[in-house]
């Protein structure tokens, strides 16, 4: 059999600069050891995020040229609305400027002070929008997700017993929704099984609680179901997506991931009463109902991107690149979240750098070292991101200290992945020499990781 290759070829390229270690030492010091403060030219291979960083296809660029910029009722809006209805089955849709905006609009309708919102390791903006409303996010992810050495095919799954306990403990009117994040970013880009979605929906129905899917990487989740779950191997991705969303009452989406556009988001639902209330917030925060913070051309490109992202050939190329990098690291003994996820490789920094104390930000230490070593920018998903407890103001130490290497869609080649792997393996070989981390110089009261300033201990 012939090997598998990408289902596209490259039509346009963007030069990138390979800097020296000396240059990088200077730049990262001036950036207060916060990788978000670097200029992009100071980064050789940028794995900070897979959000908004993918390459659009020629079909998407062609759709950009036919975007309709009418304030109201543009054809681009209807292209997007029709695609959303065809893929997910929701008849009501509002465009917004990105995923957190969809959370802001929907949660303005649904979440009240004192509410409880169970889910599978809510993403940080999702949690932020819940806590900002003085409500509480309760993590009901299965325990296996927090042990990087356990190989479980669906580490994004919700633990039904944990969920049931929440549903029994609090009155119905205090639980506005259950949020299922597909794939679960925080636990390592890990998928949720179809069976789990079905079970969560059944349990939710029994208690009369709606289910919302955070849908940033819904197509990658569908790919894992096709690969790993019995009965789905011969189904198309679009058929799998349709079944997934039959277990949801609504969705929020950051379109910057599996939508393969640089900016955009949406919310969609069956219930007209939610939609009617959401339109008010959409108009206040985002824009008129038929553009909501997106240009017509971007809605057009998104309508095409959603179609391309739900093709099996694309997903195979996409996810096999993530696994190409992950498997190289595994072969060298580098500790990573197992099994490998959909959009990123999550390096287990605690096992990589056991000598660095927890209070000195282990994953951030590894992220800075990798930048110095190879010019590669990853991102900390650890104590800096977990932030402080809103009540006690103490650091919250999360289940895992990860260095996330998120791979933009259709952007880098496997040669770039070879450089990333070699850099990290070099560090792994001299990991005993890395013993101290950082302390905080200044930090913001919420979402501190973006702007925090650090000093070497």
How far apart are CB 53 and ligand F0G at their closest, in Å?
9
Q: Does 99 bind ligand F0G (CB under 6 A)?
A: yes
Q: Does 98 bind ligand F0G (CB under 6 A)?
A: yes
Active-site residue 139, yes or no?
no
Write a three-state SS string for the chain.
CCCCCCCCCCCCCCCCCCCCHHHHHHHHHHCCCCHHHCCHHHCCEECCCCCCCCCCCHHHHHHHHCCCCCCCCCHHHHHHHHHHHHHHCCCEEEEECCHHHHHHHHHHHHCCCCCEEEECCCCHHHHHHHHHCCCEEEECECHHHHCCCCCCCCCCCECHHHHHHHHHHCCHHHCCCEEEECCECCCCCECCCHHHHHHHHHHHHHHCCCEEEECCCHHHHHHHHHHHCCCCCCCCHHHHHHHHHCCCCEEEEECCCCCCCCCCEEEEECCHHHHHHHHHHHHHHCCCCCCCCCCHHHHHHHHHHHHHHCCHHHHHHHHHHHHHHHHHHHHCCCCECCCCCCCEEEEEHHHHCCCCCHHHCHHHHHHHHHHHHHCEECEEECHHHHCECCCCCCECCCCCCEEEEECCCCCCCHHHHHHHHHHHHHHHHCHHHCCCCEEEEECCCCCHHHCCEEEEC
How far apart are CB 379 and ligand F0G at their closest, in Å?
7
Which lies closer to ligand F0G via its Cβ, residue 346 or residue 361? 346
Active-site residue 123, yes or no?
yes
Closest-by-Cβ residue to ligand F0G is 99
Active-site residue 71, yes or no?
yes
Pattern 264-283, ligand F0G, x by CB under 6 A: -x------------------
Which lies closer to ligand F0G via its Cβ, residue 235 or residue 287? 287
27, 123, 154, 291: which one contacts ligand F0G (CB under 6 A)?
Answer: 123
The answer to whether residues 405 and 344 touch, using CB atoms and an 8 Å cutoff, is yes
The single residue of 127, 155, 257, 416 carrying the catalytic annotation is: 257
Choices 74-82, 96-104, 137-145, 225-233; region in contact with ligand F0G by CB under 6 A: 96-104
How far apart are CB 386 and ligand F0G at their closest, in Å?
15
Which lies closer to ligand F0G via its Cβ, residue 156 or residue 210? 156
Query: Can you name the residues that pair with 211 across neighbouring β-strands?
Result: 178
Which lies closer to ligand F0G via its Cβ, residue 251 or residue 454? 251
How far apart are CB 21 and ligand F0G at their closest, in Å?
26
Within 10 A of 266 (CB to CB), how many other CB atoms are there? 30
Pattern 194-223, ligand F0G, x by CB under 6 A: --------------------x-x-------
Pattern 126-165, ligand F0G, x by CB under 6 A: x---------------------------------------
CA–CA distance, 299 with 209 (Å, rounded to integer): 31
Active-site residue 145, yes or no?
no
The single residue of 123, 170, 291, 438 carrying the catalytic annotation is: 123
Which lies closer to ligand F0G via its Cβ, residue 356 or residue 367? 367
Q: Does 256 bind ligand F0G (CB under 6 A)?
A: yes
Q: Does 49 bind ligand F0G (CB under 6 A)?
A: yes
83, 100, 338, 350: which one contacts ligand F0G (CB under 6 A)?
Answer: 100
Which lies closer to ligand F0G via its Cβ, residue 36 or residue 146? 36
Which lies closer to ligand F0G via its Cβ, residue 51 or residue 321? 51
Which residues are designated catalytic? 71, 123-124, 214, 216, 257, 449
Give me the residues that bind ligand F0G (CB under 6 A), please.
49, 51, 98-100, 123, 125-126, 181, 185, 214, 216, 254, 256, 265
């Amino acid at each position: 059999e012939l090997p598998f290759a990408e289902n596209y070829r490259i039509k346009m390229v963007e030069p990138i600069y390979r800097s020296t270690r000396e240059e990088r030492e200077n730049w990262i010091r001036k950036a207060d050891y916060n990788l978000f403060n670097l200029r992009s030219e100071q980064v050789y291979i940028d794995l900070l995020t897979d959000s908004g960083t993918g390459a659009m296809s020629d079909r998407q660029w062609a759709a950009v040229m036919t975007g309709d910029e009418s304030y109201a009722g543009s054809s681009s809006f209807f292209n997007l609305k029709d695609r959303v209805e065809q893929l997910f089955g929701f008849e009501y849709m509002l465009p917004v400027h990105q995923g957190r905006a969809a959370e802001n609009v929907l949660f303005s309708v649904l979440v009240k002070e004192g509410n409880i919102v169970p889910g599978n390791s809510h993403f940080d903006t999702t949690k932020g929008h819940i806590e900002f409303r003085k409500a509480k996010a309760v993590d009901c992810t299965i325990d296996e997700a927090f042990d990087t050495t356990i190989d479980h095919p669906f580490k994004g799954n919700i633990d039904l017993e944990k969920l049931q306990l929440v549903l029994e403990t609090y009155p119905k009117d205090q639980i506005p929704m259950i949020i299922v994040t597909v794939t679960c970013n925080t636990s390592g880009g890990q998928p949720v099984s179809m069976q789990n979605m079905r079970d969560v929906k059944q349990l939710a129905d029994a208690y009369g609680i709606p289910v919302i899917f955070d849908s940033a990487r819904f197509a990658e989740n569908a790919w894992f179901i096709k690969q790993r779950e019995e009965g789905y191997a011969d189904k198309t991705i679009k058929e799998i997506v349709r079944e997934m969303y039959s277990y949801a009452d609504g969705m929020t989406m950051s379109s910057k991931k599996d939508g393969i556009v640089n900016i955009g988001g949406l919310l969609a639902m069956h219930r007209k009463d939610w939609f009617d209330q959401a339109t008010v917030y959409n108009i206040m925060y985002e824009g008129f109902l038929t553009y909501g913070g997106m240009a017509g051309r971007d809605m057009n490109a998104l309508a095409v991107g959603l179609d391309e992202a739900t093709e099996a050939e694309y997903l195979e190329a996409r996810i096999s690149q993530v696994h190409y990098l992950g498997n190289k690291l595994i072969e060298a003994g580098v500790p990573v979240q197992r099994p490998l996820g959909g959009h990123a490789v999550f390096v287990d920094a605690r096992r990589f750098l056991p000598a660095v104390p927890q209070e000195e930000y282990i994953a951030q230490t590894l992220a800075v070292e990798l930048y110095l070593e190879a010019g590669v920018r990853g991102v900390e998903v650890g104590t800096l991101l977990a932030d402080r407890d809103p009540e006690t103001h103490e650091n919250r130490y999360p289940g895992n200290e990860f260095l996330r290497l998120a791979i933009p869609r259709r952007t880098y080649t496997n040669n770039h992945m070879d450089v990333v792997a070699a850099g990290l393996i070099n560090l792994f070989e001299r990991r005993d020499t890395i013993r101290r981390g950082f302390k905080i110089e200044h930090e913001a009261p919420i979402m501190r990781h973006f702007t925090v300033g650090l000093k070497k201990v």
